[in-house]
Amino acid sequence: MEADWEIELGGGAPIIEACWSGFVDLRSNPENAFKLPEALLLPALAPVLVRLNSSESSLYTAKSDIWPITEIDPIEFDAPPASAMHGLAAYIDCLHRNPQFWSDPHNAIAWCKKFCAALKAVALRCCRIDLVIRNAITAPEMDSIGITAYIAACGSTDDAARIQLGAVLDAFADSVESP
């Protein structure tokens, strides 16, 4: 699997907001993952969100979405050209359960490096995961650092891309659960 990370902490960079008006706390109500609009469009997303928000997970999620992708570089997705015809992507804003864990960008960088190494060891093609370290607001007047995971897959058909994205989402959740 292709995996990489970057930092966007400067002024004007997007911020992860866990306090936004549409926030659904999947830690308290995991069944609500199956009702999210993006999970209705991609049913494979809901079980992954449940896993990421479970008490066993070191992370929890603040927001997610999915969208089709039209420009696919086969090299960037480790895909044969015939499998780079259709694409689908998701993002998941992730926060650490221990707000001090990513309180320093260096801790988030170390986590991303280790996580990307684990993801690169996963034998999946036609996909990629990009992690972006961002500032986060986890509670009123409480700043932290979070990570937006961009997860993308491609296939020779829309259905193939959808199935592959489900597999990549599972691999993402598996890697979070691994020590």
**24 three-state secondary structure:** coil
143 vs 137: CA distance, rounded Å? 5
Amino acid at 60: Y
- Judge whether residue 76 has pLDDT over 60: yes
- Judge whether residue 179 has pLDDT over 50: no
Of 178 and 110, more confident: 110
Rounded to an integer, the average pLDDT of 108-121 is 95
Q: Where are the alpha helices (DSSP H) in 31-147?
A: 37-41, 45-52, 105-120
Amino acid at 40: L
Rounded to an integer, the average pLDDT of 36-50 is 97
Give residue 19's pLDDT.
83
Per-residue pLDDT band for 1 (boundaries 50, 70, 90) equals very high
Domain ranges of the chain: 2-177
Which span out of 115-124, 139-148, 169-178 was modeled with the highest average pLDDT? Answer: 115-124
Helix (H) or strand (E) holding 7: strand 2-8
- Judge whether residue 178 has pLDDT over 70: no
Task: Quick: pLDDT tens for 136-169.
Answer: 988 776 788 999 999 999 999 999 999 999 999 9
Q: What's the whole-number average pLDDT of the chain?
A: 93
Give residue 80's pLDDT.
96
pTM score of the predicted model? 0.95
For 126: left if phi > 0, alpha if psi spans -120 to 50, otherwise beta; the answer is: left
Rounded to an integer, the average pLDDT of 37-62 is 96
Q: Which of 19-23, 80-84, 121-125 has the lowest mean pLDDT?
A: 19-23
